[in-house]
Structure 1
Amino acid sequence: SGSIPPELGNLTELDSPRLSDNYLSGSLPPELGKLSSLRTLWIENNNFSGSIPPELGNLLKLRWINLSNGLYGGSIPPELGNLTRLVYLDLSDQGYHGSLPSELGNLSNLQYIYLSNNAFTGSIPSEFGNLLKLEILSLRDNLLSGFIPPELGRLNLEYL
C-alpha cells in the first residue's frame, strides 16, 4: 500500500518498473515523465485516482503500458499520441470518460490496444485507421456512438 513518490522520477536509468497488484493509491506523479529510459510501465491492479499525467507522453522509448484496473478516472491525455514506439496499451477497467483522443492514431507501432470497460463517449476516431500494425482493438463496454469508421477496414484486426 502507499503511493508512488515523486522522487521516483529521479531514477532516469529505470527501464521496467513493475508496481502491479500493490494496493497503491493517490495519483500518478507527473515526475514519472522524466523516466527517459522507460521501456515498460506495468502499474495495473492498484487503487489510484486522478488522471494519467500528460507528462507520460515524454517517455519516447516506452513500448508497453498497462494501467488497467486502477480506478484512475478522467480522460486519456492526447500526449500519449507521442509514444510512437508503443506496441501495447492497456487502459481498460478504469472509469475513463470523454472522447477517445484522435492522437492515438499516431501510434504507428501499436499492435494491442485495450480500452474496454470505461465510459468513453463519442465515436471511434477515423485516425485509428492509421494503426496498420494493430491486431487487437478492444472497445467493449463503453458509451460510444456513431458509425465504425471505414478507415478501420484497412487494418488486419484479429479482435474488435
Structure 2
Amino acid sequence: MIRAIPFYLTILIALPSCAIIDKSNKNPHNALLTSGYGVLSNKDIESASDGMVKPVPPYTPNSSYRYWQCFPTKTVSLKCRSWKDDKTIMGEGDIKIYSNDEQHEYGFRRAWEIQHCKKHLKTWIEITKNAKIVCLLGVPAGQEDKAIHSKKVTIKGWVWDRLKTKKGCDSYFEGDCP
C-alpha cells in the first residue's frame, strides 16, 4: 500500500504537466501550406483555426479545415463570372493559380449579385497591383487529375475565404481580416 501511494502521486503530478506541454505544442503552421513570404503574420495563420481544432490537422484534399497558401501574383487570375438567373444577374468570384503541374481554383461559397462580386474584384485588383505575392485562405474542395495540352495537371478546388497581400486583405466574411 505504501509503495502504491508514490506511484499514484507520480501519475497525478505527470498528468497536468502533459496537458501544459500539449497546450504549448500548438503548431499553427499546419494551416500554412507554403511559405508566408512575409505577407502573413502569426495572427493570420492562427486565424485559420478560429473556432476549430488547434493545431489544424495536416492538409488533405477533402479536409474541412482552412489553409493558407501564397503564390507569385503573376500566376494568379482574378475574375467575376456571371450568369443570368431567372430573377436577377448573379455572379461568382473565380480565382485561379497556374503552375506547371498544379492548378488551384478558388470559388465563392455561393453565387452573389454581380455588383457585389465586382466590388470584391475591384478590391482584389487594388491590393494585388504591384504586389509580388498573394496569399489565399480557403477550405479544400477536392482535387482531380486532368490532361491539359497533353500534360497531366492536378486541379485542386478551394472554397475562398480570404485574399491578402502586403497592401491589404479582403474576406468573404465582412470584417474577417485580422
User: The TM-score by the shorter chain falls in which range?
Assistant: under 0.3
More strand by share: 2
**Structure with greater Cα Rg:** 2
- Bigger relative contact order, structure 1 or 2, given CA contacts below 8 A and separation 6+? 2
